[in-house]
Structure 1
Amino acid sequence: MVDVPDLVEQARQGRPRAVARLISLVEGASPQLRAVMAALAPLTGNAYVVGLTGSPGVGKSTSTSALITAYRKIGKRVGVLAVDPSSPFSGGALLGDRVRMSDHASDPGVYIRSMATRGHLGGLAWSAPQAIRVLDAAGCEVILVETVGVGQSEVEIASQADTSVVLLAPGMGDGIQAAKAGILEIGDVYVVNKADREGADATVRELNHMLGLGEARAAGDWRPPIVKTVAARAEGVDEVVEALEKHRAWMEERGILAERRSRRAAREVETIAVTALRERIGDLRGDRRLSALADRIVRGELDPYAAADELVAGLTQG
């Protein structure tokens, strides 16, 4: 058994091994997870969570690495959750973004963790919210969450981040992809990376046009900026940080940041509750109650909805 209070205290001191151990408890759905979350609760709520998403190949990891450098220059402690596709064999992260961010490996002010989606189609591991909470409690002032980028499901990042950054690149058909994936609705900041390539200006124009088509903004509403970058050379990255800080200030002024965080917490509670119910229903397979309900449906005595209501009532009372 892990000494949870001691581990949390070590994480607060910024000790990487303690942070890693806590996130491992989260990923493994440890029986001590409830104790961990209870201990972390008073220590959270300070970090600014930035989600980065986009199609594979747009340079998400390079952009994340460049943002780490930019934030470290202004003295911010940075945590990174790089959510990778899962290995079908081990269930672990397949790409290992830490390899691509090795420049920051020795920096005590940076913590980088690769997490596996474990087959979760939303591009985020189900345990990502708890892992974000661990990094928050460990003193990370900015948390960058880089998603898999898997087409239409990449929009899930909007439900986990304070600010969502959508990355595109010229010559990748991203305009069509953006419309199809619905990412025009979730981006707070748009970044056209690899802007030294031919077609970058055309991509910006197309994106501007598409944002205008979907626009129904009142005076004072946030207008997502479009920033051109060459992340591999750190060009335009300071402008991205400036856009992020402006969006954060805009949300804080209007109380939107608190609203987003409240909605995020509500979704997290719902996920935990639904998971617990699903596990209890799973335990009923082969159980007499479930079999009896199924037999009544087959005989036409009960419809599936009424049976489900009866099952849920039994579970919640039991």
Structure 2
Amino acid sequence: MTSSTERTNIALSADELASFHKNGYIGPLTIYSPDEMDQIWKTVRREALDRSHAAYPEVDSGIGAPNIFNYDRHLDIELLAEHVCNRRIVDRVASILGPDLLCWRTEFFPKYPGDEGTDWHQADTFANASGKPQLLWPGESEDDFGAGTLTVWTAFTESTRENGCLQIIPGSQNKMNYDETKHMDYNEGRINSEVKDGVPRGFFGYDYRQLQVDPHWRPNEEDAVSLTMEKGQCVIFWSTLMHASLPNTATGKNYRMGFASRYVPTKVRIYPDTDHIEEYGGSISLENWAAVLARGEDRFQHNKITSKTLKGTPIRPA
């Protein structure tokens, strides 16, 4: 992984930063060459089958459960731990959030032929599924609109309109159209069964529209941008940016695999006053969870932080 060990600071330029603040996202940005990404994903895909050191146990609580138990595999897979600390990523994130960064969550986002798209949504405190905030910025209460988190969504495979690429609505990050204190009902039967405005879209067994502040509001899809990416590219965006994905209408083995790593400054409290995650039809303990110091120093010590993977391999911040 040559690109992850380069020592040159790779900050966003002034023009890139201005574009990010206006639009709420920047990208696609190249992190790995296609050949590098192929080799990384080949190894990660094989190692992910071994869950003996995974942070969360595999639970039998419905089709939605894998959205939880495959969280945070950077805590046991060395290449993913290197990825979340990759300077090509964290130096750019630091241009926005400051020099001291925690990676608090990672998630795989597969989309196989026939899978529905993901419905339009925003996330601030990430209380959207459980009703319990997972992030609190300094001075922020559970009812405040905060900054959310920066998501770095990396295409581990090619991401096209046909196989379900991301979509975003530029400039939508400064107003929350959803109230995360509201309740969403989980229903496994919703998965791959709903069509919204002519497009197969769902939200992992939930109906995200239940959180809308205005039940009659609809996102303006005419403003949407489809983020097609080569394997090894990423996009950085605020979690409060309106985002979704298209359905995978491809055939054969043309699947899309995205990997999201989420960052906050060290001053943010993560999973405040809670010891478990409750989402997508399952509940898991945070006993083996810890944030990773991806860059800089932790001067606040609000959060549980690990300096090694659950296999004992050192995690080296940028």
**TM tier, shorter chain?**
under 0.3
* Higher share of residues assigned strand: 2
TM-score (norm 2): 0.26
Which of these two proteins has the greater Rg computed from alpha carbons?
1
Structure with bigger RCO (C-alpha 8 Å, 6+ apart):
2
* Higher share of residues assigned helix: 1
